[in-house]
Amino acid sequence: MRTPTKTLAAALLALGLACGGDPEPPPPPPATDATPLADVLAGMQDGPPASTPPTDREPPPAPAGLEDPPDPVRPPPAEVRAPGSAECERARDRRETLERQVERQRSTVVLNAEQAASDAQAAMTACVGDLDCAMDGKRVQQLQERIQSSEGAYERAIEQVGALEAGFFEIDKEIRRSCGR
């Protein structure tokens, strides 16, 4: 089982190697006096202690859910990134800036589209409830056009976010190219 420290050390080593860093492995963790958990658990069972080598059988698979899952959303903090070339650092900075810009744009698009659709739907519902408005076909048509217009604005905004994401992927390629990955 990988601990968060081992996972972080492996990630830093991989990042350092990818950006031309020092290939020296991280130092081993300091030895402790505590009995390993596997030995304690083995002492509670009727069987050989965990420190004895297994015989002909394979070790049991690790229980699901105990591994540290990778966090695809959150990039590593700037203070733990391995140093790289200046070009690599500039590419990373551009990528982080673009990630923030895409996320702001996405949340703005979603909020605006939800508000416009909600307003148009509320007006349409109020109109349907009002007998005079429901009899006036022109008012109903205006509300339907307003709903279609808000849907069109939403689609255009989504296309704009897609263009930003395409730029993000181009910068990501540049990072891989400049960092040797």
pLDDT band at 107 (very low <50, low <70, confident <90, very high): confident
Residue 88 has pLDDT above 50, yes or no: yes
The string of pLDDT tens digits covering residues 56-71 is 555 555 555 454 555 5
Rounded CA-CA distance 156/165 in Å is: 14
pLDDT mean across residues, the chain? 65
Would you state the pLDDT for residue 5? Answer: 47
Look at 91 and 34; give whichever has higher pLDDT.
91
- Domain residue spans of the chain: 88-179
Q: What is the mean pLDDT of residues 85-93?
A: 81
- The number of C-alpha atoms within 13 Å of 73 and in the hemisphere containing its C-beta is 2
Residue 14 has pLDDT above 70, yes or no: no
Rounded CA-CA distance 109/144 in Å is: 21
Q: Closest Cα to residue 143, out of 156, 125, 161?
A: 125
Q: pTM of this prediction? A: 0.34
Residue 115 has pLDDT above 70, yes or no: yes
Amino acid occupying residue 114: E
